Structures are given as structure tokens and as C-alpha cells.
């Protein structure tokens, strides 16, 4: 049988187009021109002598032959990437690529400090950095478009990813500093202030709604935001109150003198911020990044919050890989 002239880059492009169904989207993702993406795709099909995609459809769909080939390509590229990483991971200075995603809660101070540290530790590495909501980071990891990501643990189980818990982030009540309202009154629906909801398109919003249902608490749904900054700024302006977390509050710290945090009444609850990796990513690299993140979280989040609001110290804490605080593990 005649050997084909398939290229690794061509297989990578085919995999991306197979998943998105769009040459234009792949061009935007990779920074290539549309003609270059089309060239690689055409070379793969011509080399194999079969049509892998139905080019007449929008979005393009895999042909039966394309579906079969795509499975082998995904397995093959994963093995190649794993071998490449394992050969270089013993020496961090030789790592060539890191696709990293981080939740926007960490984007102010932790992400820049982490990037500076990794740039020194991995001088030959090309970094592809994404700041996204948690659900997007989990999706990109599942699609093999990221190697490592920091995100809120989803409500449902995450399959195919390895989790390293980092931070227990308890839910609290945020009220205007000038307000005399009691948190219990807010939760009972008796407050004159409007309840400011996190969008249910976000994991944090889903966690809050699930807990309110457990408590059989129903609150008006007039304001719902995807923006944490909008929620905290409206609390600061005495326009409402919110259920939030210390890390979300710290992210909007320019409003901190006008916002006061209170313990959540009744049964408390928390979210977990974790480092997630694809199953085949080397553990020594992950351990280094997790250790650095815990140090930065302590410096930029836990210490300032505990100093300003001492009662947070017991609940707002680091987690070990087993999900417990290091002192308890």
C-alpha cells in the first residue's frame, strides 16, 4: 500500500475543523489565514484520497469516512502530545507550549504574577492564556483546547479531567456599609434593598440558586448579572444586596470601603476553586503550578481578606489535593 504524505499540522487542522465545522472559525482560533487552513485541509483529503468533510454544508459535517478517521486522529495527536510533554517535563526549561485558562476571579493579580513566574521557569515556552468564566474553561479543557485551567468546580461531575482543589470560597452576604439591614431580613425577603443575582449561566449563579432551593427561599428576580463588578458596584451604591464570595468581593476591591460582608445566615455553603488538567498532562508540571497558585492565593486573597474581616479566616482557606485545608489533611 502506498504511504500517504500526511503532515502533523494538517492533522491538527483537520481535527479543529472537524470539531467546529468552520474553516473561518479555525482560522480565527489559530491566527492563520482562511486560505492556509483550507490548504492544509485539502492536503489531508488529497493524501488519503477520500472526502473527510461535506464541504457543501454549513457548518461542515464529517462524512462517514471522516468520522472514522477523526477518532484515530484524536487518539494519535493525544499520544504525540503526551510523549512530547513527558520528554520535556523533567526539565521545565524545555517545555515548549502551555495552553492555560484562568477564571476571571483571579485575573487582577494572581494571573499576572503566575504568568511572570512561569515565564521565568519555562523560558522556551509559548503561552496561550485565556481568561474565561468557569464553564468555558471546563468546556475548553474537555475539547482538548487547554492543558490546564483554574475554574469553579461545576455542579455536575467532570469526566476526563483531573482536579486539584485550591480554595474554599464561602458564600457570604454583601450589604452596603451604610445599611442597617440584617442579613436574615434580606434572606427572608423583607429587605428594602433589591436582591442582585448572579446569572444562572454561571456556575456561581447555579450554586447560589441550588442552595436557596434547599433552604426553600424564593427571592425576586429583577436583577441578574453575569458581571461581578456590576453586582458589587450596585451594592456599594446602596442599590441592592447580594450573595457573593470573598474572592468575588476582593476582585472588586475598589468598592470595599462601601461594601460590608456578613456571614451567611442559617446553613452556610461554599464553592471550590480548583486547578483542572487533561488526564494525560504531567503531574510534576501540574504540581508546580498548583503550589505557585496556592502561594499567590494566600498572598493576594486569604491574607488581605482575613486581615480586613477576621471572621472569614476559618472558612476562606486553602485546600489540599484531597479537598481539605492543608492543616486538616
User: Residue 235 is inside which H or E element, if any?
Assistant: helix 228-236
pLDDT score recorded for residue 12: 87
Residue 282 CA, distance from chain mean position: 19
Provide the terminal-to-terminal Cα distance of the chain, rounded to the nearest Å. Answer: 59
User: Cα-flanking dihedrals φ and ψ of residue 144, to 5°?
Assistant: 65, 25
E strand spans, 104-239: 126-132, 148-152, 161-170, 172-176, 194-198, 223-225
Strands (E), the chain: 53-54, 61-62, 97-103, 126-132, 148-152, 161-170, 172-176, 194-198, 223-225, 240-244, 259-263, 270-278, 317-318
Compute the distance between CA of residue 307 and CA of residue 311 in angstroms, rounded to an integer.
9
In the chain, the domains with their CATH numbers are 8-87 (1.10.10.10), 91-165+273-314 (3.40.190.10), 172-268 (3.40.190.10)
As a whole number of angstroms, the distance between CA 227 and CA 232 comes to: 9
For residue 59, is the peptide bond before it cis, meaning its omega torsion is within 30 degrees of 0?
yes
Looking up cell 513527558 gives 86
Q: Give the Cα separation of 252 and 234 in Å (integer).
A: 11
pLDDT attached to residue 90: 58
Rounded Cα distance between 28 and 178, Å, is 48
The strand pair at 259-263 and 97-103 is best described as unpaired
pLDDT digit string (tens) for the chain, length 329 residues: 455 678 888 888 998 888 888 999 888 888 888 999 999 999 999 888 899 998 888 888 899 999 999 888 888 877 777 676 665 555 666 677 889 999 988 888 899 999 999 999 888 888 888 899 999 999 999 888 898 999 999 988 788 899 999 999 999 999 999 999 999 999 998 989 999 999 999 999 999 999 999 999 999 888 999 999 999 999 999 999 999 999 999 988 889 899 999 999 978 899 999 999 987 787 888 888 999 999 999 999 999 999 889 999 989 999 976 555 443 33
User: How many CA atoms are closer than 13 Å to the CA of 126, on its beta-carbon side?
Assistant: 2
Residue 136 CA to chain centroid, in angstroms? Answer: 6
Pairwise CA distance, residues 275 & 293, whole Å = 9
**Number of CB atoms found within 10 A of residue 142's CB:** 15
Amino acid at each position: 500500500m502506498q504511504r500517504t504524505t500526511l503532515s502533523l499540522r494538517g492533522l491538527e487542522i483537520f481535527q479543529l475543523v472537524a470539531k467546529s465545522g468552520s474553516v473561518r472559525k479555525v482560522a480565527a482560533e489559530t491566527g492563520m489565514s482562511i486560505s492556509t487552513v483550507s490548504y492544509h485541509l485539502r492536503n489531508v483529503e488529497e493524501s488519503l484520497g477520500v472526502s473527510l468533510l461535506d464541504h457543501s454544508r454549513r457548518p461542515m459535517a464529517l462524512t462517514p469516512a471522516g468520522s472514522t478517521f477523526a477518532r484515530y486522529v484524536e487518539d494519535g495527536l493525544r499520544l504525540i502530545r503526551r510523549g512530547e510533554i513527558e520528554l520535556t517535563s523533567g526539565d521545565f526549561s524545555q517545555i515548549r507550549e502551555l495552553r492555560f485558562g484562568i477564571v476571571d476571579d483571579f485575573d487582577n493579580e494572581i494571573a499576572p504574577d503566575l504568568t511572570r513566574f512561569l515565564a521565568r521557569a519555562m523560558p522556551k515556552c509559548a503561552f496561550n492564556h485565556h481568561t474565561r468564566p468557569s464553564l468555558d474553561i471546563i468546556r475548553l479543557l474537555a475539547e482538548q483546547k487547554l492543558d490546564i485551567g483554574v475554574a469553579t468546580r461545576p455542579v455536575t461531575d467532570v469526566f476526563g479531567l483531573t482536579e486539584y482543589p485550591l480554595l474554599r470560597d464561602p458564600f457570604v452576604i454583601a450589604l452596603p456599609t451604610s445599611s442597617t439591614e440584617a442579613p436574615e431580613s434580606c434572606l427572608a425577603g423583607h429587605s428594602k434593598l433589591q436582591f442582585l443575582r448572579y446569572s444562572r449561566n454561571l456556575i456561581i449563579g447555579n450554586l447560589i440558586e441550588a442552595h436557596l432551593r434547599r433552604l426553600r427561599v424564593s427571592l425576586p428576580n429583577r436583577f441578574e448579572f453575569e458581571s461581578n463588578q456590576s453586582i458589587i458596584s450596585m451594592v456599594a451604591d446602596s442599590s441592592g444586596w447580594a450573595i457573593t464570595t470573598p474572592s468575588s468581593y476582593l476582585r472588586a476591591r475598589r468598592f470595599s470601603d462601601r461594601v460590608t460582608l456578613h456571614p451567611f445566615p442559617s446553613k452556610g455553603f461554599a464553592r471550590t476553586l480548583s486547578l483542572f488538567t487533561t488526564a494525560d498532562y504531567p503531574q510534576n508540571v501540574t504540581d508546580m503550578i498548583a503550589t505557585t497558585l496556592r502561594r499567590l492565593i494566600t498572598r493576594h486573597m486569604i491574607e488581605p481578606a482575613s486581615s480586613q474581616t477576621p471572621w472569614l479566616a476559618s472558612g476562606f482557606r486553602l485546600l489540599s489535593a484531597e479537598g481539605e485545608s492543608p492543616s486538616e489533611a
